[in-house]
Amino acid sequence: MTTLIQYASLNPTPWKNGGGCTTEILASPPGATLHDFDWRISLATIAQSGPFSVFPGIDRTLTLVDGGSVVLDVGNERKVALSEREPVVAFPGEIPVSATVDGVPTTDFNVMTRRERCSHQLERRVVRDYSILERRSALTVLFLAEGETLTVYSSRERMALVRYDAVVLDREEVWTLEAPSATVFIVDIMPNEEDD
């Protein structure tokens, strides 16, 4: 069943280290905690420099939504300046990662999947007028990262999103995304073959 998730209905959770907060958009299975989810999609605000939580066995993709740049030190092996020029970074959750904020808080979109259960892909797409989305996986989540409104419709359903809303697409294979100008994140969750 297609589900619209309105950002206005979600509640942020402050980090234990005080460096930011996270708003969970969706996780599976329903009611899962940070210790037992199969996959999780969230929006985080990084307000201060500091370390990320470590998540063994989890693959993560982080992409910038709003704010200044943040430099990520990934496992003391590489530094990534998450910014408009390089908005996406992927890394294993067991690797220590620390963030250095340039003084302006950032808002970031975060996808996490438990490696032994599933994997994910994230596409960042700019919509001008309209764009066709052909389904590529059993579960697709669409998130409106930039733009005031986005209309998403198929032959049987039609939904209107405002910024930071998400929709879980189900059943229909082809969807049309319509907006004067918008940036959307398309997340595909793929269960491992042995779990099918």
Q: Which residues contact 172 (CB under 8 A, 6 or more apart)?
A: 2, 135, 154, 155, 156, 157
Q: Residue 165: its pLDDT value, please? A: 97
| Neighbour count for residue 14 (Cβ, 10 Å) | 12
Q: Would you state the pLDDT for residue 1?
A: 67
Token digits of residue 167: 């929709």
**CA dist., res. 165 & res. 62, Å (int):** 17
Q: What are phi and psi of 68, to 5 degrees?
A: -75, -165
pLDDT of amino acid 16: 67
Please name every residue paired with 191 in a beta bridge, in sequence order, or none if there are none. 118
> What does each of the 196 residues of the chain score in pLDDT, given as a tens digit?
689 999 999 999 887 666 788 999 999 999 898 889 999 999 999 888 888 888 999 999 999 999 888 889 988 778 888 877 788 999 999 999 999 988 788 899 999 999 999 999 999 999 999 999 998 888 999 999 999 999 999 988 999 999 999 999 976 789 999 999 999 999 999 999 865 4
Question: What are the two backbone dihedrals, phi and then psi, of residue 193, each rounded to the nearest 5 degrees?
Answer: -55, -40
Q: Indicate the pTM of the whole model.
A: 0.92
